[in-house]
A and B are shown apart, each in its own frame.
Chain A
Amino acid sequence: QQQVKQSPQSLIVQKGGISIINCAYENTAFDYFPWYQQFPGKGPALLIAIRPDVSEKKEGRFTISFNKSAKQFSLHIMDSQPGDSATYFCAASPNSGNTPLVFGKGTRLSVIA
């Protein structure tokens, strides 16, 4: 199975709150899990990525939590800001990131003041 399932489709969060987006996958060959951020009119840009050998990775306000046994991973955005309003995509690929990425359907995040 190549699918990556992402939820929720859309999310509204108050400024300063925590945004949480979840993804689940089936293919146990996946070993690279990036999150991309996309603003209107732009291409996706890498936000943060994780490999299955760690359960959590933090970069600034962004944290990936990874649960290998459940085949799930999530993105947490702490202290969400209006500038974080964008569409977020989780993705997965086998054999490092230089192989085709399988993307989730995306989550449209709106951070309101």
Chain B
Amino acid sequence: KAGVTQTPRYLIKTRGQQVTLSCSPISGHRSVSWYQQTPGQGLQFLFEYFSETQRNKGNFPGRFSGRQFSNSRSEMNVSTLELGDSALYLCASSPPPGWDDTQYFGPGTRLTVL
């Protein structure tokens, strides 16, 4: 079974630009969560989508948004990039309730904002 895939793996942007990151969950998983990982703050939850609906949201500004498509693939968008947005953005997918409780992470997208 293929794991969680994220594209692109690396991105370099400049301040003020916007960026879109993509995540394909494990087949059969309908829940997709996004996390931001930085050396200073560690792993922080951004938002979670289930069946195309945002189910949970972390404490991030409105510049961070996401969506989920009918095939469970998800995208996150960051507008008006700031230097502090440089981070590893991780996507995790979860199986349906009753299967197991594991969140399976992708390899991440490394975003550098110059």
By a beta-carbon cutoff of 8 Å, the part of chain A in contact with chain B is 32, 34, 36, 41-46, 49, 89, 91, 96-106
Stretch of B14-22, B72-80, B100-108 at the chain-chain interface: B100-108
Residue of B4, B45, B97, B106 touching A101 (CB-CB under 8 A):
B45
Residue of A44, A100, A104 touching B58 (CB-CB under 8 A):
A100
Which residues on A sit within 8 Å (CB–CB) of B45?
100-102
Nearest-neighbour CB distance to chain A for B58, whole angstroms, equals 7
Residue of B44, B58, B100, B107 touching A43 (CB-CB under 8 A):
B107
Within residues 48 to 75 of chain B, which ones have a CB less than 8 A from any CB in chain A?
A: 48, 56, 58
* A98 with B58, Cβ < 8 A, contacts A49-B102, A89-B43 known: no
The 6 closest A-B pairs by CB, nearest first: A97-B101, A43-B105, A103-B43, A100-B45, A105-B42, A44-B105
Residue of A41, A43, A97 touching B90 (CB-CB under 8 A):
A43
Name the residue of chain A whose CB is nearest to the CB of B56: A100
Q: Are B97 and A96 in contact (CB under 8 A)?
A: yes
Which residues on A sit within 8 Å (CB–CB) of B92?
43
Nearest-neighbour CB distance to chain B for A52, whole angstroms, equals 13
Which residues on B sit within 8 Å (CB–CB) of A97?
94, 100-103
Cα(A96)–Cα(B5), bound, Å:
24
A interface, over-half SS: loop
Q: Are B31 and A43 in contact (CB under 8 A)?
A: no
Which residues on B sit within 8 Å (CB–CB) of A100?
33, 45, 48, 56, 58
Cα(A13)–Cα(B76), bound, Å:
39
Name the residue of chain A whose CB is nearest to the CB of B102: A46
Q: Are A43 and B4 in contact (CB under 8 A)?
A: yes
Residue of A32, A36, A43, A104 touching B101 (CB-CB under 8 A):
A32
Name the residue of chain A whose CB is nearest to the CB of B59: A2
Q: Are B107 and A41 in contact (CB under 8 A)?
A: yes
Chain B CB within 10 A, most for which of A44, A46, A101: A44
* A98 with B107, Cβ < 8 A, contacts A32-B101, A44-B90, A106-B42 known: no
Q: Are B97 and A98 in contact (CB under 8 A)?
A: yes
